[in-house]
Chains A and B, each alone.
Chain A
């Protein structure tokens, strides 16, 4: 009954129904009156009397119609529709204003929406693990390493000793597997895990089974789980993949399962093969060989803090039991999300705050626009008020107008945000995306749309309330009188000027922040790597564990590789090292200095086995002594070269040349220092230089090598030939990580983070700058237009153009000055907050601040000069007559 009535009332709102109804009602009332008049006449009234009486009894024709109308539609909705139509009409009447407003707001909102999408993907969306908030990452901390690897033996003891985890499982730090295929050896991403790894994460295979407990024991047959991507790419996605055998690192592994499609584990983003750790492997048997990280599931009711405290107890027990290897080692428990999301969190939070600042600027900017508009509409509003529009009805109209603007901008901002997101993701190179698996969750989802709706509503509310406050009831009457001139302008100027101060200050904050980040990026890209990065390329070479097992074999391989690659066209010089420069911080060793008392102390330093031409190929700089000689092989006395940081840290005030050091591993052979080189960036780009020792490859042949090539032609062009040459030497060698040094520097994780944050902040600052300057221009120009008469009078009374300029420019300068000072103060505060993201530049960087002030000052000068010139050229006769 009720529903039917509402539906029929809703239908009554259709324009056709309305016309029909009006006609019918008019006819019905007409016939009612006629019948009543007939009756009255029969009772002997005069025609006038009869008519009057009938209308009186009806209670008025118009009132009846009004009551009937209210009943036949839904008045609230009808008003809404009317307000909406009115708002559209108003906005269409001033397309310039509407476009500017929607565009400004959409820009501001899209920045927030796009950044929120990243925050959502990285920090809000759940990881693809069961009950993921209870998962933690546990690592060891050593004095210089807050997040250090632990040995398999330590992991086994932790598993036994801890009372805080339901389960704890390990994954190895592993460069991947050498996969034997029909076309030769190939490097495949993957790692080894303890048998319960996937159970701890709460991930079940899509196909097949998980490792059963104990499948990581030495006796169990070797099995492997493959990723969904590997299943599709290498096995055609067929079900008969289970039970097939793949040869990883030379030994056959049976495929037992396929992992779910949405599974990812950021430390091994692109991993294709997951096999089991073996306690029988050589590294796993030594407590000094650290090669695993762990994940654990907290026991019920245990917080991360409690787990950390519990783990310290276990770590201390190991310290006492194994003082040799576990000295100073504590445990570090942190949320797994921190490992997955990594260094991105602080950057995202800074970006989100900046986006919010930008949104604030856009809102303030739009508010000045709306204020100017409401000022010019005072007369219209006053008139409508005088004609009986209620205050609440007027408010509804403003609110609708604000809401229409905000919703239009909100919808547009989703489109902009989508572009922005694609643009941001495109900054990240393809191969880096795998280490940011959370980016897969990026896109327009309901949280994002809700976020956009939320900020639209807030913005709409601001736009509704502010202009209404300006023209509310008290000055309605005033509005009719004031009309085109008078006091209204000065009030607006005061508010408008304050809003411009806010905009300038916020723009300043963003400009300084982006300046600092931009300088950081520049400094990072131009950081002294201790080498000449152009025309330098490198490729990693790995072999199966059972091949090249003796030193002689490895040396023979190295020599042949060097000889054959040196013969390639375009190669000027070639060398090998343990791994790429500008790489990771791994490959370290402990050492002690012969003749020093601190025998037991372990200094952890980077260690690289290199061929003699390494330093020449990199174009490193020798400080003292000499480089290695070609003849220095195992038959000659062991020699090493150290870098400047090692020399100054451990041989301060001494000449290191001729001193002897021993590596921490046995046999402890003394090695003589023969040279000191300028620091080369062996580890990650943004970290401070670490002490490093270099030994001749021929004296310490490593179990892997990286080929470095200095070319005379484009270095990319040489890489395929390098790979072909190595495959020619031995088709079972796998070649991977082929890269040019320039790409390594530009694509380093630190560079990526700095580049994306610098770009994003730069864009924000650019928009903020433009909005601030446009806002200033708007205020000054409006003020000039409001004061045309006053300025006309001044000029008529003999004011020079110069003094008119001064009048306008002083006003603008005051606004900009206050804004800049506040902005500079805010920028210093903001810079302290982003300190962690800066590289090589202090938060109080004078040149950046000066630059921002100069740019802002110049632009502000231009923006206020244009209206000032218009003011100075006002014709007094015209100005006075116009009113």
Chain B
């Protein structure tokens, strides 16, 4: 548990959006599990922190929610990506890729390095 990285500020929203894009409408618990699994269990996610983040995205109009029934016949609140959310995801993802690419070039000395 101690070796796991904390979720970085701001990245949780991106992970939520990406999860919803990949899997379609999903409830909070599902999103939490998916993020954990995708990270290869390297991330320590306090499931509770997910709900304020979901609320924030919903207030911003990136996602919408509705009550439905889960695969195990449990009543659950399902979140889905809105069009605005898809745009936000695209923008955030490309920003993030750019950032990581730059950092990668800094951190891995290559043949180009002067």
Task: Give the B-binding residues of A (Cβ under 8 A).
Answer: 1-2, 4-5, 8-9, 24-25, 27-29, 31-32, 34-36, 38-39, 57-60, 63-64, 67-68, 70-72
The smallest C-beta distance from A50 to any residue of chain B, in angstroms, reads: 14
Which chain B positions have C-beta within 8 A of A1? 60-61, 84, 88
* Contact (Cβ within 8 A) B61 A4: yes
Which chain A positions have C-beta within 8 A of B56? 5, 71
Q: Can you report 23 A-B residue pairs in the complex whose CB atoms are below 8 A from each other?
A: A1-B60, A2-B60, A4-B59, A5-B56, A27-B75, A27-B77, A28-B77, A31-B70, A31-B74, A31-B76, A32-B28, A35-B30, A35-B72, A38-B72, A59-B46, A59-B48, A60-B48, A64-B49, A64-B51, A67-B48, A67-B49, A68-B51, A71-B55
- Nearest 3 A-B pairs (CB), nearest first? A64-B48, A59-B48, A59-B46
Cα distance, A58 to B49, chains bound together (Å) = 8
Given the known interface contacts A28-B28, A31-B27, A35-B76, the answer about A70 and B52 at a Cβ–Cβ threshold of 8 Å is: yes
Given the known interface contacts A1-B61, A4-B59, A35-B70, the answer about A68 and B52 at a Cβ–Cβ threshold of 8 Å is: yes
**Is there a chain A Cβ closer than 8 Å to B29's Cβ?**
yes
The listed residue with most B CB atoms (<10 A of its CB), out of A8, A28, A63, A72, is A28
* Contact (Cβ within 8 A) A31 B55: no
Which chain B positions have C-beta within 8 A of A39? 33
Residue of B nearest to A28 (CB): B77
Cα distance, A346 to B54, chains bound together (Å) = 67
Which chain A positions have C-beta within 8 A of B52? 67-68, 70-71
Which chain B positions have C-beta within 8 A of A25? 51
* Contact (Cβ within 8 A) B29 A68: no
Cα distance, A59 to B53, chains bound together (Å) = 15
* Contact (Cβ within 8 A) B55 A68: yes
Interface string of B72-83 (1 = CB under 8 A from A): 101111000000
Which chain B positions have C-beta within 8 A of A31? 27, 29, 70, 74-77
The smallest C-beta distance from B36 to any residue of chain A, in angstroms, reads: 9
Which chain A positions have C-beta within 8 A of B96? none
Q: Interface on chain A toward B: helix, strand, loop, or mixed SS?
A: helix
Interface string of B1-38 (1 = CB under 8 A from A): 00000000000000000000000000111100100000
Cα distance, A32 to B32, chains bound together (Å) = 10
Interface string of B34-71 (1 = CB under 8 A from A): 00000000000011110110011001110000000010
* Contact (Cβ within 8 A) B47 A8: no
Which chain A positions have C-beta within 8 A of B28? 28, 32
Query: Could you say which of B46, B48, B61, B74 contacts A35, with CB atoms under 8 Å apart?
Result: B74
Cα distance, A27 to B60, chains bound together (Å) = 22
* Contact (Cβ within 8 A) A58 B76: no
The smallest C-beta distance from B42 to any residue of chain A, in angstroms, reads: 16
Which chain B positions have C-beta within 8 A of A60? 48
* Contact (Cβ within 8 A) A36 B29: yes
Which chain A positions have C-beta within 8 A of B84? 1
Which chain B positions have C-beta within 8 A of A4? 59-61
* Contact (Cβ within 8 A) A63 B48: yes
* Contact (Cβ within 8 A) B47 A32: yes
19 additional contacts, CB 8 Å, given A31-B75, A67-B52?
A1-B60, A1-B61, A5-B60, A28-B77, A31-B29, A31-B70, A31-B74, A31-B77, A32-B27, A32-B28, A32-B29, A35-B27, A35-B76, A60-B48, A68-B51, A68-B55, A70-B52, A71-B52, A71-B56
Given the known interface contacts A5-B56, A8-B59, A71-B56, the answer about A34 and B74 at a Cβ–Cβ threshold of 8 Å is: yes
Residue of B nearest to A29 (CB): B51
Which chain B positions have C-beta within 8 A of A27? 75, 77
Which chain B positions have C-beta within 8 A of A36? 29, 47
Residue of A nearest to B72 (CB): A38
Query: Could you say which of B59, B74, B77 contacts A5, with CB atoms under 8 Å apart?
Result: B59
Cα distance, A4 to B58, chains bound together (Å) = 10
